[in-house]
Amino acid sequence: MIDVQKVNATKERILTMIQTSGPSFPTRIARETGISPLFISALLAELVAERKIIMSNMKVGSSPLYFIKGQEPLLENFTQYLNSKEKEVVLHLKESSILNDEAQDPAMRVALRKTKDFAIPITARFDEEEKLFWKFFTLSDEEAHKKIKSQIITKEQKPLVEEDKTEEKEKLPEEAVKEDLQAKPEKKPRKTIEKKPSQFALMLKDYLIEKNIELVQDITSKAKEYHARVRMNTSLGQQDYFLIAKEKKKLTEDDLAIALHKAQAEKMPALLISTGNLDKDALVYLEQWKNLIKIEKLKH
């Protein structure tokens, strides 16, 4: 007779292990728990059916990875198990963030369809016709649509600008055209204009000083977002953090997942500072990853 209590305890043990160690596969879980791989596989299947864990499309050897919602960015740690073409397409998509399906060669299109963990299909209507695009898995739908719209606008405007320039040239009198071609304008030295930090960046730096957080290295600075490496005093001594600061009314689960992903790429915990609050899903995500993400509220 099956001991239901023991089975449930084992399932909780598996969940704790995945939550602590990140995405894993049956053989590793079996080795860590001392339970047979066959029994572990059965329990993992139950956990997937109960929607407590997710099964990846990619394979490590012959086995998929199992992970908890919110751990998707950690799947990048396993791209070494993809074949060369799949690795290439994942890297290309990560760099571009959005790819137009019809603009890719056949091999790339096939690879995009196979890398389901990283390449997410998204459609957009253009001239009464739906077009298929692919977004990198950490990019939010909102940002993806913005980038797609930007691509479409750029594509539409480019020929018009070139045509306008041509027409303007044709309208010039012949003598004026000759003068223009013969003229050799004096080259003037370009002045380097220093980009002033945004009001948000200035407010953030004041906050860091107030909280005794050392700014170690500026990474990127935009009007409403700022990335840097910082150092804080903790109970265990000084600790470096990857800082992502956002001027945003609401922080989403995606904001936290991306922050964690960027921080882990730099082998540091994440410090997320924002003017906004966390939404419901973000609060759940934070509870899962509170050991790796620190949240600070920045007041105007």
* 272-288 pLDDT tens trace: 999 889 988 889 888 87
Q: Which tokens belong to 235?
A: 């109970």
Residues 6+ apart with CB under 8 A from 214: 208, 230, 231, 232
CATH number for the domain whose boundaries are 199-297:
3.40.1350.10
Same CATH topology for 82-143 and 199-297: the answer is no
Domain positions in the chain are 4-76, 82-143, 199-297
Q: Which CATH number fits domain 4-76: 3.40.50.970, 1.10.10.10, 3.40.50.170, 3.20.20.220?
A: 1.10.10.10
- Spatial separation of the C-alpha atoms in residues 274 and 254, rounded to whole Å: 14
CATH class of the domain whose range is 82-143 = mainly alpha
pLDDT on residue 137: 92
Q: How far apart are CA 295 and CA 106, in angstroms?
A: 44
pLDDT digits (tens, 9 = 90+) for 136-189: 999 988 898 888 888 776 655 444 333 444 444 444 444 544 444 455 455 555
Between CA 110 and CA 99 the distance in angstroms is: 13
Residue partners of 254: CB distance under 8 A and separation at least 6:
138, 140
Reported as type and span, the H/E element at residue 4 is: helix 4-21
The residues, any chain, with a CB within 8 Å of residue 180's CB and separated by 6 or more, are 172
Q: Is the pTM of this model over 0.75?
A: no
Residue 62 one-letter amino acid: S
> For residues 225, 68, 95 and 264, what is the CA-based torsion angle, rounded to 10 degrees?
60
